[in-house]
Structure 1
Amino acid sequence: MMRALYIHWPFCASKCPYCDFNSHVRDTIAMEDWQGALLSDMQFEANRASGGPLRSIFFGGGTPSLMPPSLVDDLLAQSERLWGFTKDIEITLEANPSSVEAANFASLADAGINRVSLGVQSLDDGALQFLGRLHGAQEALSALDVAQKHFERVSIDLIYARPDQTAKEWQGELDQALTLGTDHLSLYQLTIEPQTRFATDVRRNIFLPLDDDHAADLFAMTREMTAAAGLPAYEISNHAKAGQESRHNLTYWRYQDYVGIGPGAHGRRGGFATLRHKKPENYLSAVAKNGHGMSAETTLAPREQASEALLMGLRLAEGVNLKELEDRFDIETGHLINQRKLTLHSDLGLAQQRGEHLCITDRGMPLLDALLTDLVHDDLVSA
């Protein structure tokens, strides 16, 4: 059953130096062309993936808060016609906390947005400048205040483990964030992604990333502080009060079906992986020619699906049920997890298996990428 819809808006006012998302800066945007393309792409997917109603919709980017509210309204009306909505549907839109975008919050709420994820990124002006953000700390706090007046649920993003950031500095910033009244925090360690300006800066020795040991200490402190404040980590970088977890992102992490439209959007539906053209101009051309923006539709073998389900599910504090995955993908017992490596990591306190249930411990989460490489069975990796 298709549970969720992702809509990618690829445009930003500027490109952040740490960002490797599919985002683009354009002087002009032909809104009528984009409206037609996104609606056509959505119709194509509805013809392929029925079985609603939708439980969640997520507008990501890019900067979807730069979309005209009328376009958001049209896309939501179309998605409801095509699939229907559950009574408690979660409709999230990513937004920058600028005064310009905050001015649209009332109209976006009227269009149907009921959850906003604000890219605050830092509460320190110097850090925001380093991160290439166009807003200041006070502007972000003002936008947050406007968002909380218009939307039922608000989440904020922060980036930590920045170069030379001390434990005291991050503790103070996180303390402040925990007083802002949001029920969800996405707290990401700064990573230097290839093909970004920051990657170039590191190669040129303009700055050095924070060392791994110090970053691990900040990670542990983050989990302790958020848990004490009643927003424990439910995923490696996401923290929420009980019941306030992002239902849309849980669809990904629990490996349930979702449709993705818009430039560069991924989807998983009925055993297929879909991918849209990344470059905006190529996407528009593809939709005009074919009625959809898809660049690839690939059949996923059961072992590939099982591998993806493990890689996603073990990000969650709840972990995965191995018996359910074996039954779902018809994988023989013992062919999901490398039992020898699981025993090793369990003895080290990095992973824990109780019956059919497997999770990564708090101690293991900072080493998640390495643990996943070890734990996922070679039969799945080589599928």
Structure 2
Amino acid sequence: MADDWRNGGFGLYVHWPFCEAKCPYCDFNSHVSKKINQKQWLDAYLSELKRSASETPDRVLNTIFFGGGTPSLMEPETVAAVINEARALWRPANDMEITLEANPGSVEAGRFAAYRDAGVNRISMGVQALNDKDLKRLGRIHTVAEARAAFDIARNCFDRVSFDMIYARQHQTVEAWCAELNEALSMAVDHLSLYQLTIEDGTAFGDRYAIGKLRGLPEDDSAADMYLATQEICESRGMPAYEVSNHARPGAESQHNLIYWRYGDYVGIGPGAHGRITSQGRKLATETYLAPNTWISAVSAGSGESHREELSRSDQANEYLMMGLRIAEGLDVDRFKLLSGTSLDQDKVDDLCEIGMLYQEDNRIKATRDGRAVLNAVIRELLG
């Protein structure tokens, strides 16, 4: 049990909470601030890295992921110092993947070259749409032309470039999405993240939806058709889904995100970051303070964590199941049994296989394409 995390690997997530503008659909922990003291933030990150490394000694670090917020607003020197400190505190893997999220509106060639020189070797860009009308609806501050220009800069600086797109947008038809997806695939290097628009409570879109002012959202059947068309088109273009919303050419999968889905260990630092770490034989779930100033103050007092709890064997097994069924490789039933202390209900597995939601291959259980489309319902059935 103490070594179970090795099945997934070990990563570091660094949350940069600042954006130039807050998107109306976004429920991530992001804040708009005109003045940011980069040295103060760097000092806090370095302090948290040291604290976290003391609990996870003698690890090989497989990945670093700078997420947000908009990490491409970080000074390259800040990014470089975080990477160098992480390399000093843990043993870096020979093929360590270091990803930085970027918004097209905050990109220029010199900055990207500086991130590359700092050690970043993969960029994930928030393009979201390939027409200006929908970008404006989504609250994005860049245009399609700017997105394409930023993408070209990234492609010239990095071998690995991913970008995000959102579908099931207001007034979007299946045909329009298919045309846009094919356009995106003509740009794609090796990876695409394709998300269905979801309306979250506490967002501007959520507030508009609650009072009936968010019009033109596709019906459920139309959104489902977009999902299925996405799978078929991407597969036909050599970028099959390796996870519910993520598509890649073979070998180009996001290694950091696979740590989550394979239920490895990851340290989470920065406001609102979550972590899963194994320390002294215990699997711990960690959370940090959400508000940037609160987090900074807490770090100064010794720790940016707001909460941690030990996960029971049952909790770990359930989290592994929920993560493992998201990816095409599925979950290992023997590992589930080791975590849980009991086997999955084979009758439920057989029933879900019979109706085409799951299939079993040797000791692995995998969701079918139809099963991934309704994965939450499949998971509820298995855990019920």
Matched with 1:30 is: 37
Q: Which residue of 2 aligns with 1:381?
A: none
Structure 1 position 23, deviation (Å): 0.6
CA distance in 1, matches of 2:109, 2:290: 28
The whole-number CA distance in structure 1 between the counterparts of 2:36 and 2:99 is 23
State whether residues 359 and 365 of structure 2, in contact with CA within 8 Å, keep that contact through their aligned partners in structure 1: yes
* 1:54-73 mapped onto 2 (5 Å cutoff): 54-73=61-80
Give, in angstroms, the shift of residue 99 of structure 1: 5.6
Q: Pick from 295, 299, 311: which aligns with 1:287?
A: 299
Is 1:318 equivalent to 2:325 in the alignment?
no
Q: Match of 1:244?
A: 252
Amino acid at match of 1:157: D
Name the aligned partner's letter for residue 289 of structure 2: H
Counterpart position of 2:90: 83
In structure 2, distance between residues paired with 1:365 and 1:102: 38
Structure 2 unmatched runs, 5+ = 1-5
1:147 aligns with 2:159: no
User: Which stretch of the first structure deviates more once superposed, 338-347 or 116-125?
Assistant: 338-347
User: Secondary structure, in 3 states, of the residue corresponding to 2:35?
Assistant: coil
Partner of residue 223 from structure 2, selected from 187, 193, 215: 215
8 Å contact from structure 1 (residues 156, 182) kept in 2: no
Instruction: Name the SS for the 1:110 alignment partner.
Output: helix
Q: Cα deviations across residues 53-108 of structure 1 (Å, max 9, x unaligned)?
A: 21110000000000000000100110001002111110000000126455410111
1:194 aligns with 2:205: no
Over residues 155-213 of structure 1, what are the superposed CA-to-partner deviations in whole Å (9 max), with x where a residue is unaligned? 01000011221111111111111111410000000000111000111112222432111
**AA of the residue aligned to 1:116:** I
How many angstroms apart in 1 are the aligned matches of 2:71 and 2:104? 12
Structure 2 residue aligned with 1:6? 13
What is the rounded CA distance, in whole Å, between the counterparts of 2:98 and 2:190 in structure 1? 16
Query: For 2:161, what is the secondary structure of its paired residue?
Result: strand
% same residue:
46
- 2:348 is matched with 341
> How far apart are the structure 1 equivalents of 2:142 and 2:47?
34
Contact 2:162 2:188 in 1 (8 A): no
CA contact (8 A) 1:65 1:101 kept: no
CA gap of 1:293–1:176, structure 2 versus 1, over 3 A, is: same
Q: What is the TM-score of this pair, normalised by structure 1?
A: 0.95
Question: 1:1-383, aligned counterparts within 5 Å?
Answer: 3-98=10-105, 100-208=107-215, 209-270=217-278, 271-290=283-302, 292-327=303-338, 329=339, 331-333=341-343, 337-376=344-383, 378=384
Residue 26 of structure 1: how far off its partner (Å): 1.2
> What is the alpha-carbon distance in structure 2 between the residues aligned to residue 152 and residue 65 of structure 1?
18
Letter in 1 for 2:79: V
Shift of 1:342: 2.5
Change beyond 3 A, Cα 1:193–1:338: farther
The CA distance in 1 between the partners of 2:80 and 2:147, in whole Å, is 25
The amino acid across from 2:336 in the alignment is L
Cα 1:314–1:296, aligned 2, differ >3 Å: closer, same or farther? same
Q: What TM-score do you get using the length of structure 2 for normalisation? A: 0.94
Q: Which runs of 5+ in 1 are unaligned?
A: 379-383
Separation (CA, whole Å) in 2 of partners of 1:102 and 1:185: 22
Q: 1:346-371 CA distances to partner (integer Å, 9 max, x unpaired)? A: 21111112342111100111111111
Q: Are residues 104 and 351 of structure 1, via their aligned partners in 2, closer, same or farther at CA, if it must alter by over 3 Å?
A: same
**In structure 1, how many angstroms separate the alpha carbons of the residues matched to 2:157 and 2:361?**
43
Report SS of the residue matched to 1:363.
helix
Runs of 4+ in structure 1 deviating by more than 4 angstroms, as ranges, are: 99-103
**Separation in 2 of the partners of 1:305 and 1:185?**
29
